[in-house]
Structure 1
């Protein structure tokens, strides 16, 4: 029997065999008992920085408690071409993949599951899997909701932003873009201004976007969580955000899908920095850096969140960020980096190299540079081989890594596997 404390759910959405339109997604539940002080997993990847890590210790007896069959997602965008002759790539990494899995949100003993196939947001009881309520919209619900202060906010391809109570009652709704005649989209009729980014809620403010085509206008809105009153709105004529919104203290960052991410100021919606990079809908914030991608070759670009300048490009498709350590899964390699120490060493190394350029014959300067280069290697705490990862999140001192055939529980300090759960089809998240 599962103890009746607040639980955090760490879930994978499993797609069975068959065509995308007929496959079934199974939500496999691995429940972790935590103290009531923890808020669960109230938004996609745990927080507004989309770090993928929660400060929650997992118990030793994780297991499969129940499952729920749901229709497989109906993604908005097809796969890219198999390769690119001009880029000399035999394989192109899909970039617009934000709606290819059912992303669960967990709060107050409830599991919230969006569906782009049956146009609904479904609420399950965390302990039993019983369906508590279901709200049906007039379009696909592609993104996980955001929960704050007992309110659930989510968007739909019908163009409406909705706010519900935890019991599923409608508190308010707002159309983000114009009320225009519907158009064909994904084999059906949808609003020409669908909600195609994940809603973000922070400090009592809801941020959302609507629209696909910059020539028709793409709308960004900030409104009050309590009543939906508009605080500011912004019309974009040259950009079309897609993916999960994320935020720093003063910036709202919008992934660009096949274009690069950009930022608006949370206070009034005016322009913040734009970021170089490789496009994609996957993004997270680590300290003062935005990590976004993947590019056609699967790389993630790190940029300074204040200036927008590119810092480094690294391989990796699945990242988890804790206050000090970053974890990256790329191909068949998983590694851990002491991000704080790495940044310190790189700053000192840049200064020492500058000094060496001034006096190339200085033995002391040469030795100092060599020592710091060794220190830089030591910032990589460990690496290990894995099967190609399909999703990764973290909790407390552990990681949960999904591969095509299993979900692995790993020790963050060493990367060693402490438990494995076999699955029947690809996990995604």
Structure 2
């Protein structure tokens, strides 16, 4: 695909962004714009497909894939969680957790085929919902001493589902998605707030969980055993947005940092790959032709989508 530039709307910096493939294989970019809207663009043409008002003032976006083939976009922000049809922008009724701040959202599927949404609450709780109906899945999960800043949903080899959460208490906690029971002990080692989480399945079957804190340290863990993988990665700048890709050299992490640079990190070795890319936001997805597309947003600038070389 060619390089496409999405002009920002209004003064300021674009907010969270993501790339995804539609059920028919079309690459879509979704992003919060400085004018308080969320838009969706066709990456191949740069055409804007829809735009909605962001009532939640979102900090995080996630795509939800429903069993029937429908795709949703969900946002977490200052007024809970909002949901839209990802292809049309049609809203689903009702904010989830209205009047509560949700710092991060993530989605996944549980063993009975249902799609779930998970939210990181400012009130130190982890929330779970049925992604389609918006109904809560049990009581919120309590364990973090302070507000929860990041969440990730992980499908395990036995078909069960894990939730990982990171908080201001510097801990990464793991939970069984359905029962809400703790999954092992907390993962300790960070000293700052755990702001970002991402996971990837390795070639040997292990699931790697990456976590980044407000001190600019990225740690890697075996998601199931909780054992650390390699040494901490010191970037010097806190990372507030992650994207994971499977490149020719193996799994890589794209980390957008507070110094307005995006670092590409080999998740197996912890080594930096190439020079940092200027930008304050990052997203990535695999195109139908097997290439990896990357979206980056510039500080007070536009969003660029292009193949990652």
Shared fold, TM over 0.5: yes
Aligned position for 1:132 = 92
Distance 1:272 1:73, change over 3 A: same
Instruction: Quote how far apart the aligned CAs of 1:390 are.
Output: 5.5
Distance 1:8 1:227, change over 3 A: farther
Matches within 5 A, 1:85-124: 99=59, 102-108=60-66, 109-118=70-79, 120-124=80-84
Between Structure 1 and Structure 2, the one with more helix by share is 1
Aligned position for 1:207 = 163
1:242 aligns to what SS in structure 2?
Answer: strand
What whole-Å deviation, never above 9, does each CA across 1:194-250 have from its counterpart, x for those lacking one?
221132322332232243144xxx351232x33333331315265342113323432
1:198 aligned to 2:151? Answer: yes
1:242 aligned to 2:195? Answer: yes
1:69 aligned to 2:53? Answer: yes
Match for residue 232 of structure 1 among 161, 184, 203: 184
Distance 1:275 1:67, change over 3 A: same
Aligned position for 1:221 = 174
Distance 1:391 1:289, change over 3 A: closer
Normalised to the residue count of structure 1, the TM-score between the two structures is 0.50
Instruction: Quote how far apart the aligned CAs of 1:317 are.
Output: 4.2
1:234 aligns to what SS in structure 2?
Answer: coil
Aligned position for 1:11 = 30
Distance 1:201 1:27, change over 3 A: same
Aligned position for 1:294 = 257
Aligned position for 1:153 = 117
1:264–1:271 CA contact under 8 A, matched in 2 = yes
Distance 1:196 1:406, change over 3 A: closer
1:114–1:142 CA contact under 8 A, matched in 2 = no
Please, which runs of 5 or more residues in structure 1 have no aligned partner? 17-24, 32-57, 75-98, 179-191, 319-388, 416-429
Distance 1:138 1:237, change over 3 A: farther
2:105 aligns to what SS in structure 1?
Answer: coil
1:164–1:170 CA contact under 8 A, matched in 2 = yes
Between Structure 1 and Structure 2, the one with more strand by share is 2
Aligned position for 2:211 = 254
Distance 1:288 1:159, change over 3 A: same
Aligned residue pairs, count = 260
1:176–1:209 CA contact under 8 A, matched in 2 = no
1:271 aligned to 2:228? Answer: yes
Distance 1:139 1:274, change over 3 A: farther
Normalised to the residue count of structure 2, the TM-score between the two structures is 0.67
Q: Distance in 2 between matches of 1:128 and 1:301?
A: 33
1:144 aligned to 2:105? Answer: yes
Aligned-pair Cα RMSD in Å: 3.7
Distance 1:393 1:231, change over 3 A: closer
Matches within 5 A, 1:326-365: none
2:105–2:117 CA contact under 8 A, matched in 1 = no
Q: Distance in 1 between matches of 2:124 and 2:161?
A: 19
Aligned position for 1:26 = 37
